[in-house]
Each structure stands twice: as C-alpha cells, then as structure tokens.
Amino acid sequence: MVTIRDVKAICTAPDGIALVVVKVETSEPGLYGLGCATYTQRWITVADAVEHYMKPLLVGKDVSRIEDIWQMAMASPYWRNGPILNNALSGVDMALWDIKGKMAKMPVYELLGGKVREAAVVYRHAGGFSTQDPRYGKMTPEEMLDEQIEHFLEMGTQYIRIQKGRYGGVQDLEAVKPEGACPGEYYDPHQYMRETVESIAHVREKYGNRFEILHDVHERLEPIDAVRLAKDLEPYRLFYLEDCLAPEQVDWFKTIRNQSATPLAMGELFNNPMEWMGLIKERLIDYIRVHISQIGGLTPAKKLQVLCEAFGVRTAWHGPGDVSPIGHAVNVHLDLSSWNFGVQEWQGFGQGCLDVFPGCPELKNGYVYLSDRPGIGVDIDEKAAAAFPCDPTLPRWTNARRPDGTFARP
Ligand code: GCO
Ligand code: MG
C-alpha cells in the first residue's frame, strides 16, 4: 500500500499573482502529486491550513482512497464548505488524482471516462484595461478594446469577453466622490450599464458574428439593474452574461429567466453546494462557473459536472490569472472528458508560470490542449518557484464603492 508521507503548501507568484500549490509526497520514492489550492486574496491562511490541519490529518493514509479522504477531510473540521479549508482540501484532492494517474500511467481525463473532444475551446478577456494602463488617455476605450479584439482574432479566438474597462467599467470618479470620501475603487453602476450596452453594440456592429460575445458583470449591479441589463443586451445575442448577481441574490435569477433570453453563467464565487443546487434544479442558469479549488477540488467538480448534465447546464470553469497552471490543467481534464462542456475561460500564462510549471496546457488557434503525461501532467520546479515570493499586500480592487461611498460587492 502506498501511503501519504508528507503534505506541504508551495506559495509562489511567477506572474505576480499569489498561487498556492499543494505537494503530496508518498512512501514510494519519487512518486508525488500536485494540486491547486489557490485563493489569491488569502493565500497565507490557506497555506497555514495545509500545514497545520491537512498534513497531520493525512500523513500515513492510503493514497488510493481519494473519495474516502475527501469525505473525511471535508467533515473533519465539523464546520465546512468555507473558502479556506475548501482550497486546502482541493490541493490534496487534485494531488491524489495526480498520483493515481501516475500510478495508472494515464492522464487524469482517462480516469474520468476518456476524451469526448481533443481540446477545449477558450474564451479570452478584451477591454479589461484600467485607468492605470499607460495607453489610457492616449487611446479611446473603443480603440483599446478593438486593439485587443484584433489581437485575439489573429490567434483564432472564437469567444471574447467584452469589458469596457475593469469590472464596473472605465471609472475615473474623482469628480463625483463625496467630500472626504474614504479610499476605494469608485464606479457608477448606471454609467457602467450604459457603457456596457454601448460597447457591446459597437462590437456587434463592427465585427458581426465573427466571434461569440460574453460579458462579466462581476456582481456589480443591484438585482433589478441586472434584470434590466440582461434585457438591454438581449438584442446582441451574447454567448452568456456572467455573474450578473451577487451569490446572496441568486433568487433574482427567476426574474431574469422570465424576462430575458440572454444566457446566464454563475458560480465563480460559490463554495457551498447549497449555492448551486437550486439554480441547477430549476434550470435558472445555462453555465456553471465555479473556481474548482473553492469547492474542494476535482472530486466535487466532477460530481457537479454530472449533476449539471442531467439538467441541461454546461460547464465554463473559472479560469483567471489566480488559478495555478495545475488548476488550469484540471479544468481542461474535466473539459476534455465532459459531454456538457461549454467554454473554458483562459487567462494564458506569463513566462514566469511557464518556467516554474513545466507541462502547462498549450493554447493553439483558440483551443487549449493538454500534454498526455500521466496524472494532471504539470510539474513544479520548486527552486524556480522560490524565486517568486508571494506579496502579502491586500488587494485594492476589492474595495469597490459607489459614488456616494457605499461599499459595493466587488
Ligand atoms: C473572472 C473573474 C476574475 C476574478 C478574480 C478574483 O471572470 O475571471 O471574475 O477576474 O475577479 O479571479 O480574484
Ligand atoms: Mg468572472
């Protein structure tokens, strides 16, 4: 029996974004697994949970018992389904799938039922520039947006997320902030709504049906405004509208569903199965978008994908810069082996990640491909990783505020 000998967190920021990877070493010399536990805003606490709780819980356990370990480790803290411990568990869970693939001499997608497609079609981000962008002010937002669209079209991209500026739009609200307002990332929800419809109308007018259009509201609107935006965007036939409600307001999806045919994607902020169960059962969304390490790893994500298939919901796993290449590869193992795959969000890797994580999935002509190495297929160069320490500074962008200074869900 091969057992778990050590469990450790490796925190590294090769592209300037804090990533957390869990390495599970085994009693078999040279056999280890890697998993993604990336929660970039609270990476220190996740790493701490891995060291102080996952390690003592799991050392000595049989590596083959993935389901049993997942169930035991999920309920061991009694309180469960929170972001910190879900990420710590995800790192272990993915690492155990990596080990099982290496022992079976198969890529993980083979363990999940084999390929239903050779590669996963991706969606890219256009227009998400910030007022800090050196080109801002020299180029109009439309010119910056078009430049990014042209770049992605040259790369064969078929799905492009259109944002006019950051989440909440191109905002430079120094002028409207109340006297002595507290610091924050100010934006005007109604200005953002108007700009978004104008931007997408411009894109559809200029590019026709050359690519599928997506947009990410990022929970930046009050529910009734989300209803209005979904209706206002209906004529432009989006592939989907992402995160148009905050998780606390998902009951409003019923209203949106009844008033608009704009396809809806939700889930990157979910941690708890009770957040998605109703949306799927009632067929209130079209795409599920969880951040796989935030729900506890590949084991629960596979179960979620199968649940969604029964209700006609497709997958569009969260794939931002704050997922490690191991996490991105796990997304793609699921993408390749799931019949109800929709689209894969793809941020792409900087040279730092490519150097630290040998075997990164490869983007070719709008599709992402996995190596056929056994397991997850991505390794880590720990020495190179150590050269990119994570920054403990708290993120500014999550301090979002409306013109009157009210804090807004970011
Ligand atoms: C996306 C997400 C990200 C998140 C980020 C939070 O659609 O990729 O909205 O941009 O904001 O992952 O850390
Ligand atoms: Mg999003």
Ligand nearest to the CA of 125: 1
Neighbours of 406 (CB within 10 A): 9
User: What's the mean per-residue pLDDT of the chain?
Assistant: 95
Report residue 184's pLDDT band, with 50, 70 and 90 as the boundaries.
Answer: confident
In tens, the pLDDT along 138-176 reads 888 888 899 999 999 999 999 999 998 888 887 666 666
In tens, the pLDDT along 70-122 reads 999 999 999 999 999 999 999 999 999 999 999 999 999 999 999 999 999 99
- Considering only CA atoms, which residue is closest to atom 9 of ligand 1? 218
Pairing state of beta strands 400-401 and 185-186? parallel
Residue 252 has pLDDT above 70, yes or no: yes
Amino acid at 252: W
CB of 216 within 6 A of ligand 1: the answer is yes
Report residue 310's pLDDT band, with 50, 70 and 90 as the boundaries.
Answer: very high
R_g of the chain, CA atoms, integer Å: 21
- Considering only CA atoms, which residue is closest to atom 10 of ligand 1? 320
C-alpha of 275 from chain center? 16
Pairing state of beta strands 19-26 and 4-12? antiparallel
Active site residues: 167, 218
